Every structure is written in structure tokens, then in C-alpha cells.
Amino acid sequence: MEENFIPVKKSQISLFKSFPLFYFSKENEPLLYKKEGERLKDARIKTKQFPDLFIRASDRENASHALFKTMNAHLEETVFSQGIVPIRQALSTLVQEALEGPLNVSGKMLPETIEILFQGYNQNKILVKSLAKLSSSSDKLVEHSVNILSLTMQFCTFHHFYQTKTQTLGVSAILHDIGHTQLPPELHNTKTRLSDTQFKEFQTHTTKGYQTIIDCECFTPEIAMVALAHHEKLDGSGYPKGSTDISEEAQLIGLIDAYEPLAYRGTSRHTAPQKPFNSLQILKNEVIAGKYSRQMFVNFCSCLA
């Protein structure tokens, strides 16, 4: 039977010590580059002197588990002792693995990630405020998901949420847009407005994300509901169902999801990122129009203050 291979990111190569790595010959034959248990020399890793490397698809689940373990340990180390930039980088790698790797592994490992982050946040309040202002990934979805995670953790920490609630919200923040990974890339890369048909397809990231999380059977239903309902609005003007009965978790992630592009990336109407005060002013108009909960908005403003 022909074996399948998955590319390994050059930046993550040092994390694959326990797994054999392969490269492809000119004839497209997979050849062993490094045996299981061997480490690439540090100098090679630093200068990236190696060909494009791959792991066996059959190693993907175990490799992802090992990756998460190493990344969580790294996050723990950085969150307590280092500056904001390394933490943001560690988080970006973690979120990327959660969005691209096997979801059943994320289900086991992400609660630990959130726990580490929560502990770190409780010890370092400045970290909470600064983390979402940094950009460290060129991948828009990863960037957006890390921002949503950072703002969500800020909210949970400020309002002293219990550990279980924080974990649900933190994992939901990371996975709320996982349905995007199933959309054609042209829906993300377009600089012009989406056509009606394209926008309809874009909206399916909610139902696709929900189904992906449910199918995995390793997350609580609340997390899947956030993926489904984070674009619903309390006045029924949202999608995919136009529902007004929205879980609290989905309302919160939805509110933060509306704030994030305004404050950090700009939108089609407000092309440049707005100051936090202006972003909240814009959002306030939506609250007055009945799209978001007033109380939740007030609580969100107070955690940003």
C-alpha cells in the first residue's frame, strides 16, 4: 500500500525528535532523512539547512500529541518568565496546530493550554492587556483566533470566571472559526466585496465548524454551539439561522469577534484599525440597535478599561 506523508513546518522541525523524518528524491521517492529518536543538529535547525521534510501520515496523531506536549511546556516556561513576544509566538504555534492538526488531539490538549494561560494571566496582569496587540503570525485565521483567545482570557480573568467556564470559552475562542479551514481560499484572499453567492458560501463556516467539532466527539456541545452561533444576533439579523436564542458563550465570542477586526485589523467600512474607544463606540451602536446584550457589552468594556 502506498504511504501518505505530511509536510513538517521548518519552524517546528526541532519538535519532531521522536519521529522519523523523510524527504523526497528527484524521482519523487520518499527517503529516510532522520531516524526515530535522532535529533537534527542545532546548527542545521538554525540555518534551516535541510530539505523539505515530511512525517508519515500514520504518525500524525502521535506527532500532534507530542507537539502539543512540547508546545504546552514551552508556553508554561514563557508565560511565567519571558516577555510578551515569545508568549504570543508560542500561542500562535499552538493555535495553528489546533486548527490544522487532528481535532481529537486538540480535544485532549487544549484545556491544558488554557489552564497554563489562565495561571500566567493571573500572575501577570500586563500580559493580559498586551497580548492581543501584537501580531506574530502571517496566517490571518491564526492571528484572528489568537486575538479572540487573548481578549476572551482578558474577559474571563477580569470577571473571575471559574476554571471550567474559562476552559470552555478559551477553547471556543480558538475553534470558533475552524469552519474557515474548509472554505476555498479565494473567499479569504479577495480584496473586493464578496458577491451574494460567495457570502452565502462564506456563512457556511459556522455550520461546517459546528459539524467538525461535533464529529470529533472530544469537545463539549457548548464549544460546537459557539462555532455555529457566533454570527447570530439578538435581533435575529445574524446567520446561519437568524436565531435570537443564543448561548451566553456564543454571545460573548460573537461580541469579541465583532470588536477584534475593528480594533486590530480594520474592516471594509473602517479600513484602518480604530482606537479601542472608537471601536467600542461603533459596537455600542450595534448594542443600541439590539444586536448584542447590553450587560455583556458593559462587562466587556470594563475588562478593557
Using CB under 5 A, list all residues that contact Fe ion. Answer: 177, 257
Q: Using CA atoms of 130, 172, 213, 102 in order, give the dihedral in degrees to the nearest 10.
A: 30
Smallest gap from Cβ 223 to Fe ion, in A, equals 14
Tell whether omega for the bond before 240 is within 30 degrees of 0, i.e. cis: yes
Smallest gap from Cβ 176 to Fe ion, in A, equals 6
Smallest gap from Cβ 179 to Fe ion, in A, equals 7
Smallest gap from Cβ 296 to Fe ion, in A, equals 17
Angstrom CA distances, 187 to 193, 200, 246, 257, stand at 10, 11, 26, 18
Nearest to 169 by CA among 149, 199, 185: 149
Cβ distance to Fe ion smaller for residue 59 or 177:
177
Cβ distance to Fe ion smaller for residue 67 or 223:
223
Smallest gap from Cβ 72 to Fe ion, in A, equals 24
Cβ distance to Fe ion smaller for residue 79 or 258:
258
Cβ distance to Fe ion smaller for residue 8 or 227:
227
Cell of residue 53, nine digits: 521534510
Smallest gap from Cβ 106 to Fe ion, in A, equals 17
C-beta pairs of 287-296 under 8 Å, 24+ apart in sequence: 289/235, 290/233, 290/234, 290/235, 291/233, 291/234, 291/235, 291/237, 291/238, 292/233, 292/234, 292/251, 292/254, 292/255, 292/258, 293/234, 293/251, 293/255, 296/248, 296/251, 296/252, 296/255
Cβ distance to Fe ion smaller for residue 110 or 175:
175
Cβ distance to Fe ion smaller for residue 74 or 231:
231
Tell me the C-alpha distance between 198 and 205, whole Å: 12
Q: What residue type is assigned to position 103 of the chain?
A: L
